Amino acid sequence: MEYFIQQLVNGITLGSIYGLIAIGYTMVYGIIGMINFAHGDIFMIGAFVALISFIIFGLTGVALPIILLLVLLIAMLFTACYGWTVEKLAYKPLRGSFRLAPLISALGMSIVLQNYVQVSQGARVKPMQPLFSGGLEFFKNSEFIVTVSYLQIFIVVLTIILMGIFTYLITKTDLGRAQRACEQDRTMTALLGINVDRTISITFIIGSSLASVAGMMFVLYYGVIDFYIGFLAGIKAFTAAVLGGIGSLPGAMLGGLLIGLIETFWAGYVSLEYKDVAAFSVLIVVLIFFPTGFLGKPDIEKV
Amino acid sequence: MGKQDIIKSLKDSLFTGLIALALFGPIVGLRTVSKGEGLFITPQWGVVFLLVGLCILGRFLININSARRTEFKIFSTLSSKFSSITEDKAKHFAITGILFAVVFPFLPFTDRYFMDVAIMILTYIMLGWGLNIVVGLAGLLDLGYVAFYAVGAYSYALIATTFGWSFWICLPLAGVFAAFFGILLGFPVLRLRGDYLAIVTLGFGEIIRIILINWYEVTNGPDGITGIPRPSFFGLPFKRSPDEGETSFHLFFNLEYSTMHRIIFLYYLILVLALITNYFTLKIRKLPVGRAWEALREDEIACKSLGVNPTNTKLTAFAIGAMFGGFAGSFFATRQAFISPESFTFIESAIIVAIVVLGGMGSQTGVVLASIFLIGITEMFRDLEQFRMIAFGGAMVLIMVFKPKGILANRKPTILMHGDKK
């Protein structure tokens, strides 16, 4: 039982990270109907920017909460620039062309970003000294002590805060309304005087910022990163988005949590080596029974 | 061009520079280096300023150019040249290409390096043609094609090292195994729509790779399988000094021993395998099942209402595509004599899909051009080892941006009832 709770805590932490990345996938899919394959690499760049800023601020000796806030903002800003540029360079010229074109362009962009970071930052893994230590301990009397580290609390709380801001942004503001309108009908939205290109750019900026936060969490949580982390995290997050029903924002978060939990429990109870297999197998099984994911809208084809 | 335009484009270029600074500043400018215990930062501002300068300059030139409405001359002429390749010309091109491929090993400038590159390009052409059945004809986006390539390579390697059977027995077996895996995967997932199918196949590719890494007892894990038998020339091995009672190739034909013999043989082997794939595809396009694939690609609902069973039709495409992937895989195994899971990563799938799509989906000639182009680019950058994948990815983006339908964009259904559609 204690072991189960421990895995649950770990799974929720991991799920928060996946969920934040998954939102980027699902938003982009919702608005322009493409798999933004480079999104995982945007997350990786976010992790690198966070790592670099942690090192720089680590030297200044400022208090930890201020460092965290600064790094968060810096990572979001710089990573958003990447998201924006990628969209302008590789996807915008392809709007309206046939379906596979943006996907291939995204694949190419993903290869470029990965190797660009490999060249500029080196191929070795980058370790980082842990910033957080300690945590809360539960079930002290039993054999297995459940530890909820402060870092895990930080990650989950930050995710909840971001989700709150994000939900407000999408449901209550003009920007969110424009975004949702573009999802439903781009031509009509443009006719009603909304700048569709700008809305799409902002979608990419929001998605990239959230991915960069996930990147920062990843650096803190695992303590090592390399240029390749974006690939696996990216496809798992995409799996999460599909699982929750692609295009649905609560679905992305739910899917992220599920993937995080499945992966942790599988690693904890079944086998560590095959934890990546678990996520994909579950995806296949779920898609057979819920072809549009858990919270996706059923897709009716009309002739 | 007025003064205003220049000021406008200057402003725009400076904005580009600002963005470039934000992009390159942290990632290029602040290189993290591990020293002893910790991680330190080495600034590289020189490179950053160079890159930012290039971006500003490039943007400014593009602005001036587009103001004059000349646009990208090179690209438009190139693309119009390629677009003018019609079916007729493509046929001439194909015949010339095959003739060239046949005499290639004996051309005076052909050396070992050229042969190796040619074999690699032919392998990708074969994979591209195999995947073209799935993506180009049946319109199913398969991002895990490398899984079948891996299944083919591993089943060849395992059968050949365990039972010692010859290449010509193992090759069809490997194809059968790969086709079996194609059906195994295809059965549950082929009901899914395009993008879902893409991600599931991607997942399947990863599953196969992870299993290859972890299933030590059979696959020898990350260390891979070594000592895979080399193919022999219909029973005559390519050895300097053959074993007792054996005749080797150069003795039988009374030739000076040379390692090139084996390379040339491998070259012709893959050439023949690739041409078989091509021939098969061209023929099956005209059979009912091939027609059903193309019809499914164009309109699935119409197909269903006309009584075509989409699942079975897709399944055959998947299985046949997988089978050719398996053939290519066993060729790969016998050429390398060593395989490990590292050769079957997602990037391989991405390259093969890129070849099919960049070539122009469904176009057999396009696959050839795209393979030569993409593999050629990575080979040209070989000396700049680190930059070759950047060049590769960049080429993918550029081709898509300037030529979204691929180099040869003549995706036409093989038959049409009422003239041309659009």
Which pLDDT tens digit goes with each residue over A107-151? Answer: 889 989 988 888 888 778 888 777 777 777 777 777 777 778 888
Q: For residue A303, give how far its alpha carbon lies from the nearest alpha carbon of chain B (Å).
A: 7
Q: For residue B189, give how far its alpha carbon lies from the nearest alpha carbon of chain A (Å).
A: 7
A108 and chain B: CB distance < 8 Å anywhere? yes
Domain membership flag for residue B409: no
**Minimum mean pLDDT range among A184-188, A195-199, B29-33, B301-305:** B29-33
Domain membership flag for residue A299: no
Element (H, E) at A185: none
Residue partners of B126: CB distance under 8 A and separation at least 6: B270, B273, B274, B277, B324, B327, B328, B331
Residues from chain A contacting residue B209 (CB–CB below 8 Å): none
Domain membership flag for residue A199: yes
The counts of H helices and E strands in chain B are 17, 2
> Contact A45/B27, CB-based, under 8 Å?
yes
Report how far Cα B301 is from the mean position of its chain's Cα atoms.
31
Parent domain of A189: 2-289
- Which range among B40-44, B151-155, B164-168 has the greatest average pLDDT? B151-155
Domain membership flag for residue A49: yes
User: What is chain B's mean pLDDT, rounded?
Assistant: 79
Instruction: Return the CA Rg of chain B.
Output: 25
Q: Which residue of B has its CA nearest to A119?
A: B386
Domain membership flag for residue B313: yes
Domain membership flag for residue A170: yes
A156 and chain B: CB distance < 8 Å anywhere? no
- Are B104 and B30 members of one domain? no
Parent domain of B65: 3-71
Domain membership flag for residue B417: no
Residue A213, pLDDT score: 92
Residue A212, pLDDT score: 92
Indicate if the pLDDT at residue B86 is higher than 70. Answer: no
Domain membership flag for residue B411: no
Of B301, B354, B393, the CB nearest to A109: B393
Q: Which residue of A has its CA nearest to B202?
A: A235
- Are B25 and B87 members of one domain? no
Q: Which residue of A has its CA nearest to B345?
A: A231
Residue from A53, A71, A280, A281 whose CB has the most chain B CBs within 10 Å, to mutate: A280
Which pLDDT tens digit goes with each residue over A224-261? Answer: 888 888 888 888 888 888 888 877 788 888 889 988 99
- Are B381 and B282 members of one domain? yes
Indicate if the pLDDT at residue B422 is higher than 50. Answer: no
Distance CA A233, CA A249 (A): 18
Nearest to residue B408, comparing CAs of B74, B81, B183, B100?
A: B81
Q: What percent of chain B lies above the pLDDT cut of 70?
A: 82
Domain membership flag for residue B331: yes
> Contact B25/A97, CB-based, under 8 Å?
no
pLDDT bucket at B421, cuts 50 / 70 / 90:
very low
- Are B136 and B67 members of one domain? no
Asked if A79 and B23 touch (Cβ cutoff 8 Å), the reply is no
Of B19, B189, B202, the CB nearest to A81: B19
Domain membership flag for residue A68: yes
Residue A282, pLDDT score: 80
Domain membership flag for residue B372: yes
Task: Tell me the one-letter amino acid at A19.
Answer: G
- Are B12 and B158 members of one domain? no
Nearest to residue A39, comparing CAs of A51, A52, A27, A53?
A: A27
Domain membership flag for residue B357: yes
Asked if B310 and B197 touch (Cβ cutoff 8 Å), the reply is no
Q: Report phi then psi at A271, rounded to 5.
A: -160, 140
Decide which of A216 and B380 is more confident: A216
Residues from chain B contacting residue A126 (CB–CB below 8 Å): 32, 34, 39
**Tokens linked to B171:** 């090759």
Q: Which residue of B has its CA nearest to A85?
A: B19
Residues from chain A contacting residue B131 (CB–CB below 8 Å): none
- Are B162 and B202 members of one domain? yes
Domain with residue A135: its CATH number is: 1.10.3470
A to B CB pairs, distance under 8 Å? 184
- Are B125 and B29 members of one domain? no
A99 and chain B: CB distance < 8 Å anywhere? yes
- Are B31 and B173 members of one domain? no
Q: What is the mean pLDDT of residues B393-422?
A: 67
Asked if A75 and A55 touch (Cβ cutoff 8 Å), the reply is no
Which pLDDT tens digit goes with each residue over B208-220? Answer: 888 888 888 777 7
> Contact A126/B34, CB-based, under 8 Å?
yes
Q: Which residues 315-334 on chain B approach chain A with CB closer than 8 angstroms?
A: none
Decide which of A291 and A167 is more confident: A167
- Are B112 and B22 members of one domain? no
> Contact A129/B30, CB-based, under 8 Å?
no
Of A45, A104, A238, the CB nearest to B354: A104
Which pLDDT tens digit goes with each residue over B349-371? Answer: 888 888 888 887 777 788 888 88
> Contact B196/A100, CB-based, under 8 Å?
no
Domain membership flag for residue B412: no
- Are B36 and B107 members of one domain? no
> Contact A101/B210, CB-based, under 8 Å?
no
The domain total for chain A is: 1
- Are B250 and B310 members of one domain? yes
In this prediction the pTM is 0.84
* Domain endpoint, select from B44, B71, B98: B71
Decide which of B15 and A220 is more confident: A220
* Domain endpoint, select from B28, B43, B71: B71
Indicate if the pLDDT at residue A56 is higher than 60. Answer: yes
- Are B144 and B226 members of one domain? yes
The domain total for chain B is: 2
Q: What own/partner pairs with CB < 8 Å and gap ≥ 24 does B155-160 have?
A: B155/B326, B155/B329, B155/B330, B156/B228, B156/B329, B156/B330, B156/B333, B156/B334, B157/B225, B157/B228, B157/B333, B157/B339, B158/B218, B158/B219, B158/B225, B160/B228, B160/B229, B160/B333, B160/B334
